[in-house]
Amino acid sequence: MCEIRKFQEGEITCPYCGWKDTDSWESGLNNDGDSDEFECPECNKKFNVIMNIETTYTTTGLCKENKVKHNWEYFDHTTDGKRCKGRKCLTCNEYKFDKETIVKE
Ligand SMILES: [Zn+2]
Ligand SMILES: [Zn+2]
């Protein structure tokens, strides 16, 4: 019984000799599940290629709605000639001014 070698790579890879097609996006395969027969330019053997597209999304809810920790960025802020510290959340853009930390000149 002959062993079928399966390759899952970011590039079309010859299952016989390991040759990689660095121009895989020019192969004409565009959609998930598309398949075609290829001939390896290195060993001249034919092999079948099936395209698998894996799409992943990473989502993060905003802190305001999801009550997770704000991603504060601290900055100096001037109100009525007084310098105090403020902070802005880089995720949800909420502003807060820390009155307690007023810095007197
Ligand atoms: Zn080959
Ligand atoms: Zn936030």
- The mean of the pLDDT values for the chain is 81
Kindly identify the ligand whose nearest atom is closest to the C-alpha of 69.
2
Give the contacts of 19 (CB within 8 A, at least 6 positions apart): 13, 40, 41, 42, 43
CA 32, 59, 90 angle in degrees (round to 5)? Answer: 140
**CA 84 to ligand 2 center in whole angstroms:** 20
With a cut of 70, say whether residue 86 has pLDDT above it. Answer: yes
pTM of structure:
0.45
**CA 42 to ligand 1 center in whole angstroms:** 5
With a cut of 70, say whether residue 54 has pLDDT above it. Answer: yes
Domain residue ranges in the chain: 1-56, 58-105
The answer to whether 97 and 77 are in contact (CB under 8 A) is yes
- Residue of higher predicted confidence among 41 and 56: 41
Kindly identify the ligand whose nearest atom is closest to the C-alpha of 60.
2
Predicted local distance difference test score (pLDDT) of residue 39: 93
Which residues line ion ligand 2, judged by CB < 5 Å? 63, 70, 89, 91-92, 94
